[in-house]
């Protein structure tokens, strides 16, 4: 399976605009993923290209494949993640105080957190029913 490499926002802009930067980045990615090649994703997690081990770029065509953040190979480890500083109500301090070898339960880099975030999101059908029923007055 081809790994997914997520670009930062500045690198996404450079990839889109600057041909020279795109080819330099492709050479670096080809060196880093010399056995498999890599899929290049934007900061919005859309696959825009594939770079093979010879640093050749194959551009994707719309509609672009979307991936989940936890699928990216350049995600921080649990030791380096910012979620170590998030508040943990059980310990009364930072999540890192627990000494747990895991991301915070709501960390975007944790695969299990995806289900938790989906539980929080209000489905569009519910919002549609609320508007049709007149529970939300749109004139305000």
Structure confidence by residue, pLDDT tens digits, 96-114: 888 888 888 888 888 777 7
Is 45 part of any domain?
yes
pLDDT for 109 = 83
pLDDT at 140 over 50: no
Residues 33 and 92 in one domain: no
Q: Whole-prediction pTM value?
A: 0.72
Peptide bond preceding 63 in cis form (omega within 30 of 0): yes
Separation between Cα atoms, residue 26 and residue 37, nearest integer Å: 10
Rounded to an integer, the average pLDDT of 68-88 is 88
| Torsion of Cα atoms, 111 then 116 then 120 then 126, to 10° | 90
Number of domains in the chain: 2
Q: Which secondary structure element, helix H or strand E, spans residue 59, and what is its range?
A: strand 57-59
| Contacts of 105 by beta carbon, 8 Å cutoff, 6+ apart | 112, 113, 116
pLDDT at 127 over 80: no
Rounded to an integer, the average pLDDT of 18-41 is 95
Residues 14 and 65 in one domain: yes
Q: Which two tokens stand for residue 130?
A: 């609320």
Is 133 part of any domain?
no
> In terms of residue numbers, what domain contains 15?
4-71
Separation between Cα atoms, residue 95 and residue 89, nearest integer Å: 9
């Amino acid at each position: 399976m081809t790994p997914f490499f997520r670009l930062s926002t500045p690198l996404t802009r450079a990839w889109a605009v600057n041909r020279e930067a795109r080819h330099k980045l492709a050479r670096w990615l080809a060196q880093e993923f010399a056995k498999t090649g890599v899929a290049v994703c934007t900061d919005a997690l859309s696959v825009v290209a594939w770079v093979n081990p010879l640093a050749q770029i194959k551009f994707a065509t719309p509609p672009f494949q979307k991936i989940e953040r936890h699928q990216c190979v350049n995600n921080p480890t649990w030791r380096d993640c910012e979620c170590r500083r998030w508040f943990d109500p059980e310990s009364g301090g930072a999540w890192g105080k627990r000494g747990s070898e895991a991301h915070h339960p709501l960390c975007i880099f944790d695969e299990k957190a995806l289900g938790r975030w989906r539980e929080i999101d209000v489905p569009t059908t519910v919002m549609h029913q609320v508007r049709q029923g007149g529970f939300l007055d749109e004139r305000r």
